[in-house]
Amino acid sequence: MKGRVTHVGISAAVSSLLVLATMQGAQANQDLQNLTKNADNWALQTGNYTGQHNSTLSQINKGNVKNLKAAWSFSTGVLHGHEGAPLVIGDMMYIHSAFPNNTFAVNLNDPGVIAWQHKPKQIASVKAVACCDIVNRGLAYGDGKIVKTQLDGKLVALDAKSGKVVWEIEVCDPKVGATLTQAPFIVKNTVLVGCSGAELGVRGAVNSFNLKTGELQWRAFATGPDEEVRLAKNFNSDNPHYGQFGLGLKTWEGDAWKIGGGTNWGWYAYDPKLNLFYYGSGNPAPWNETMRPGDNKWTMTIWARDLDTGEAKWGYQKTPHDEWDFAGVNQMILSDHKVDGKVTPLLTHIDRNGIMYTLNRDNGNLIQAAKVDPAVNVFKKVDLKTGTPVRDPEFSTRMDHKSTNVCPSAMGFHNQGLDALDLDEPIVYAGLNHICMDWEPFMLPYRAGQFFVGATLAMYPGPSGPTKKEMGQVRAMDIVTGKYKWTKWEKFAVWGGTLATKGGLVAYNTLDGYIKALDKDNGKELWKFKMPSGGIGAPMTYQFKGKQYIGSMYGVGGWPGVGLVFDLTDPSAGLGAVGAFKELQNHTQMGGGLMVFSL
Amino acid sequence: MHIVDKKSCISAVKAALVGVAGMLALQAQAADELRVCAGKDELPYSNDKQQGFENEIAKVVGKAMNRKVSFVWWSDARYSVRDFLDKKQCDVLLGLDKGDPRVLNTKTYYKSGYVFVTRKDREIDITSWDHPYLKERNFRLGFLPDSPAKNMMLEIGRFDDMFDYLTELTDFKSTRNRYIKIDERKLVNDVITMKLHAAAIWGPTVAKYVAESPTPLNMVLIEDNATRANGSKIPMQYEVVMGVRLGDEALKAELDNAITSSQQEIDAILKREHIPLLPI
C-alpha cells in the first residue's frame, strides 16, 4: 500500500463548485441509510446495511410473476465473469464490469443512452495475478460518488453525476500478488475495502478510507501483533474461550504470520446502533498446511469492529488451521429474532465450510452452528460451548493422507453469493454449491533434491441431490434452529445468491444462464428466463416511476467458470473446478451484461 | 502419496521369476532402439528440438550401445515416471538423483552441486549457508520452490522474506495442483538486474546462462555443510543417474557399460555446458 492520493481534475476555477457539491453530498451521504430504506433504490450491493439482500417491493409477486418480461438489456462489452449487481439511486443506474473494470451510468428515463462511462487503463499483466477469473463484485455509492475497485489494486472515486475521477489511491500491490475484486462498503464518511490474494501470501487487512479525500484512516490486519490486528481492550471478554491476546503471533511459527493470508474480499454488514461492522477474514497461506502449524489466528474469523476506530470488539475463528481453502469471507446477515423467547441481535453467516453460524452480534455468543447439507463431513459438528469444530480426520487434507468424498470441496458449499433473509421470518434462502472432492497429495522427486509438492483436486457433485448429479441448490433454512424448510435442486452451483421480495418471491441466477423466481413458501418454480450467458451474481430489484424492476448481471466465469473462460481442459486445473463444470460449455458461453425485467 | 516406496524387493523378485527366455525375447524386440523419456520443453536439459545436453548424452550413450535413440516427450515432469516409464512408453529417463526409489538406478554419470550466482562487480563473496549476509532481511536470495535451497531458507528463517519472489516465479499461480515450469533463466536475469543479490540453484540448470551472460557473473559451488536444526544434512551436492523400470536389470547393465565406455564424451558435453563437475 502506497497511500498515494491523486486528486484529479480539481482546478481552482471549479473548486468552489465542488465544495458546494461536496457539502450537499455530505448531507446526502448521512442519509445513505435512508436511501437504502427507500425500496425504490438499490443503493448497496447487499441491498441494505443488514446484508439481508431483500426488498419490500411487492408489485411483482407470486400471482403475476409469470408475466415478467425483459424490459431492457445492456452489454458491458466484457466477456468474463460478472459477479455483483448494478446500483440504483433515484433515476440513475450504475453498472460495473469484470476487468478492465469499466463503469457505466444510465439514466433510467432513457436506459438506451449511456450517460457517462469510466474506462480505466490497467496493465494486462495483473490478470495473471487473480486466482479465479478476473471478476469484480460491484460498486458502492456515497456522498455523491461512485466508489469502485480495480483489479490493479486501485480504489477510485468517481463523481456520480459526471463520472469524473475525484480521487484515486493504490490499496493493493499486484506485484506481491494482491488484487482488488471486492465491492467497497460505504458507511458515513468511511470506505471499507480489502485485497484479494491470500493464497499468494498477502497479509490480509481491512482498510478504512476517508470517503471525501481517499486518505487512509486506519487499517486492521488479520494476523500479527495485537495493535496491528487492532484488538479492543475488552476483546472477546464475553467469550474468552475464542481466544484473546497475542494469538496473531503465537498461533504461527516464527514470522509466518507475515505471509499468513487472511485477506477479506467478501461482504460487509453494519449495525448503526452498535456502530459495529462485520466481515470475515479469509484463508491462511501458504496452502500447504504443514508449512504453518498452529491455529493461524485470526484467519477464517468473523469480526465485529468499531466503524470509527477499527477496534475489534469480538472475533470468532470458525476454522482454526484451515486445510481446505475455506476462505471465510462470505456474507454477514444481521437480523433481530427470538432466541429462547427473547428478541436477540443476530448475525448469520453461511461459511464455505458448509456450516451456517448464527451468533449474537453484540457479544459474539455462538447460538447455532448447523450444517447447510447433511453431506458436510469435514466437521462432525461444532461444539457450541467451546466454539470449536470437531474434525473428522478421514476428510482432512493433510500431505500424508489421500482422502475421497471430502464435503464440501475447496469451493465450499457456499461461496461469494449474497443470500436473502426473509423479510419477516428467521428464514434464509441460501444459494448453495453441492460439490465434493477427492484430495490426492503428491510429493514427486524432480532433480537435485527438488520436489513437486502439491495435491490433485477432483471435484464432482455431492451425494444429496435426487439424481446425485446436482451441484447446486437453493435451500430455505431457519437461522435459529438450523432446520430446513424446503430445497430446490439445481444442475449447477447456485453461485450468486438469492433475492427475496415482499411479493413472496425468491429470485436467483443459475450458472447455465437462467434467472428464476420461486415461491418463498415452498420453493416452487414460478418463472424463469434464459439470459445470454450464465449468472454468477444475485438479482437486485428497484422501482422507477411506480414500476418495479428486477435486474441481474449475466456473464459466466468466476471460479466455477474458469474452465470455460480460460479454455482449460485438464480436469484438475482451476483448483479442480474444470472437471466439475465440464458440461457447462454445452449450456452457456461467455458474455457480460445486464438484463432488466418488469411486468 | 505417490512417493511411497515402490516395493523394490518384490519387483526384483518378480523380475527374477520372469523366464530368462522371456527376457531375451523382450530384449530382442527392442534391441535396435533406445527409447528415452525426455522433457519436451525442459531446457537446458532437453527439448523436442533435441537442443538440451541430456539429449546429447542420450545419443552418445545410445551410440555406445549400438542402438538408435528415439525420444518420447513428456510435458509434465511430475508424471514422467508414472505415465511414461512405468507405462512402457519409453525405457530410460536421464537426470535423476541417485537413490530415486521409483526407478532402477544406473551408475552415476556425473556429480554436481548447488551454486550461488552473483554479479562479479558486486563482490558478494558467499560460498556457504553460514555466511552472515544470508541472514540479513534485505538480502534478496532467489531459489526454486521445494528445493534444498528453499529448505535452507526455512532453516535460517529467511523463507518468508522471499515468499513474494516465489509467487512471482510461479506467475502468481498456486503450485498446489498444477505443474509450473519455471524458467531458471529468470533467476539469472534477476541477479543481473540486481533484483536479487544472489541465486541459490542447481548448477547444471544455470551454468550455460551464467557463462553466456554479457554481465560478468560469479558461480560458486555451495559448501556441502548445510544441516537442519536437528543436525540432519541438507545435501548441496547430488550424483546424477539414469533410471530404468524397476526390474529391468538387463537394460541397466547395458546402460552402465555404455556410461563407462563413453564417460569422456559425457564429460565433454557437460564441460561445454560449463557445468561445475565434482569427482564421482
How many whole angstroms separate alpha carbon A365 and alpha carbon A368? 9
Query: Same domain for B131 and B100?
Result: no
Q: Is the pLDDT of residue A11 over 60?
A: no
Verify whether the Cβ–Cβ distance B147 to A448 is below 8 Å.
Answer: yes
Among A201, A399, A450, select the one facing B164 at the smallest CB separation: A201
Give the start-end residues of each E strand in A133-271.
140-142, 145-149, 154-159, 165-170, 185-187, 190-193, 205-210, 216-221, 269-271
Verify whether the Cβ–Cβ distance B202 to A450 is below 8 Å.
Answer: yes
Q: Does B170 touch chain A (CB under 8 A)?
A: no
Top residue of A409, A446, A570, A578 to mutate, by most chain B CBs within 10 Å, is A446
The band of B279, judged by pLDDT with boundaries at 50, 70 and 90, is: very high
The most distant pair of C-alpha atoms in chain A lies apart, rounded to whole Å, by: 72
Range in A195-199, A403-407, B33-37 with the lowest mean pLDDT: A195-199
Min Cα distance A340 → chain B (Å) is 46
Q: What is the pTM of this model?
A: 0.88
Residue B155: inside a domain: yes
Q: Provide the chain B residues 185-214 that lie in CB contact (below 8 A) with chain A.
A: 202, 204-205
Q: Provide the chain B residues 127-156 that lie in CB contact (below 8 A) with chain A.
A: 144-148
Residue B98: inside a domain: yes
Average pLDDT, chain B: 89
Residue B180: inside a domain: yes
Query: Same domain for B129 and B230?
Result: yes
Query: Same domain for B152 and B253?
Result: no
What is the predicted pLDDT for the residue at B31? 62
What is the predicted pLDDT for the residue at A29? 52
Render pLDDT for A110-126 as a digit per residue (tens, 0 to 9). 999 999 999 999 988 88
Render pLDDT for A333-350 as a digit per residue (tens, 0 to 9). 999 999 999 999 999 999
Task: Give the angle subtended at the CA of A474 by the CAs of A321 and A149, to the nearest 5°.
Answer: 60
How many whole angstroms separate alpha carbon A20 and alpha carbon A17? 5
Average pLDDT rounded to a whole number, residues A211-224: 97
Average pLDDT rounded to a whole number, residues A33-57: 95
For residues A186, A104, A122, A191, the Cα torsion angle rounded to the nearest 10 degrees is 0
What is the predicted pLDDT for the residue at A24? 44
The band of B19, judged by pLDDT with boundaries at 50, 70 and 90, is: very low
How many whole angstroms separate alpha carbon A160 and alpha carbon A143? 9
C-alpha cell of residue B174: 498456486
Place of cell 454449491: A433
Residue B20: inside a domain: no
- The CATH number of residue B119's host domain is 3.40.190.10
Render pLDDT for B236-251 as a digit per residue (tens, 0 to 9). 999 999 999 999 999 9
Q: By percentage, how much of chain B surpasses pLDDT 70?
A: 89
Query: Same domain for B222 and B253?
Result: no
Top residue of B94, B114, B167 to mutate, by most chain A CBs within 10 Å, is B167
Query: Same domain for B148 and B94?
Result: no
Query: Same domain for B198 and B133?
Result: yes
C-alpha cell of residue A304: 465485529
Query: Same domain for B166 and B96?
Result: no
What is the predicted pLDDT for the residue at A31? 74
Q: Provide the chain A residues 165-184 that lie in CB contact (below 8 A) with chain B.
A: 175-177
Query: Same domain for B244 and B198?
Result: no
Please, are residues A155 and A173 in contact by the beta-carbon 8 Å criterion?
no
Min Cα distance A471 → chain B (Å) is 22
What is the predicted pLDDT for the residue at A265? 94
Set A143, A159, A295, A325: catalytic member: A325
What is the predicted pLDDT for the residue at B11? 43
Verify whether the Cβ–Cβ distance B160 to A259 is below 8 Å.
Answer: yes
Higher pLDDT: B14 or A197? It is A197
Query: Same domain for B243 and B178?
Result: no
Range in A4-13, A238-247, B253-262 with the lowest mean pLDDT: A4-13
Verify whether the Cβ–Cβ distance A449 to B160 is below 8 Å.
Answer: no
Query: Same domain for B119 and B258?
Result: no
Verify whether the Cβ–Cβ distance A442 to B2 is below 8 Å.
Answer: yes
Higher pLDDT: A569 or A545? It is A545
Domain count, chain B: 2
Catalytic annotation on A325?
yes
Render pLDDT for A281-336 as a digit per residue (tens, 0 to 9). 999 998 888 889 999 999 999 999 999 999 999 999 999 999 999 999 999 999 99
Q: Provide the chain A residues 117-156 that lie in CB contact (below 8 A) with chain B.
A: 128-129, 131
Range of the domain at B201: 112-237
Render pLDDT for A377-431 as a digit per residue (tens, 0 to 9). 999 999 999 999 999 999 998 888 899 999 999 999 999 999 999 999 999 999 9
Higher pLDDT: A200 or A510? It is A510
Contacts of A449 in chain B (CB under 8 A): 97, 147-148, 234-235, 238
Top residue of B93, B160, B177 to mutate, by most chain A CBs within 10 Å, is B177
Q: Does A199 touch chain B (CB under 8 A)?
A: yes
Q: Is the pLDDT of residue A240 over 50?
A: yes
Mode of pairing for the β-strands spanning B33-39 and B68-74: parallel
Q: Is the pLDDT of residue B16 over 60?
A: no
What is the predicted pLDDT for the residue at A124? 86
Closest CA to A473 of A459, A488, A462, A486: A488
Contacts of B175 in chain A (CB under 8 A): 452-454
Residue B8: inside a domain: no
Q: Is the pLDDT of residue B170 over 90?
A: no
Verify whether the Cβ–Cβ distance A572 to B178 is below 8 Å.
Answer: yes
Render pLDDT for B88-131 as a digit per residue (tens, 0 to 9). 999 999 999 999 999 999 999 999 999 999 999 999 999 999 99
What is the predicted pLDDT for the residue at A131? 74
Q: Is the pLDDT of residue A78 over 90?
A: yes
Among B160, B167, B205, select the one facing A200 at the smallest CB separation: B167
Contacts of B177 in chain A (CB under 8 A): 454-457, 572-573, 575-576
Higher pLDDT: A67 or A32? It is A67
Residue B50: inside a domain: yes
For A173, nearest residue in chain B (alpha carbons): B164
What is the predicted pLDDT for the residue at B23? 46
Higher pLDDT: A262 or A129? It is A262
Q: Is the pLDDT of residue B171 over 90?
A: no
Query: Same domain for B79 and B142?
Result: no
Query: Same domain for B119 and B101?
Result: no
Please, are residues A478 and A368 in contact by the beta-carbon 8 Å criterion?
no
Verify whether the Cβ–Cβ distance B167 to A450 is below 8 Å.
Answer: no
Instruction: Collapse the DSSP code of A590 into the 3-class scheme (helix H, G, I; strand E, B; otherwise coil) and give the result.
Output: coil
Q: Does B171 touch chain A (CB under 8 A)?
A: yes
Verify whether the Cβ–Cβ distance B147 to A399 is below 8 Å.
Answer: no
Min Cα distance B184 → chain A (Å) is 13
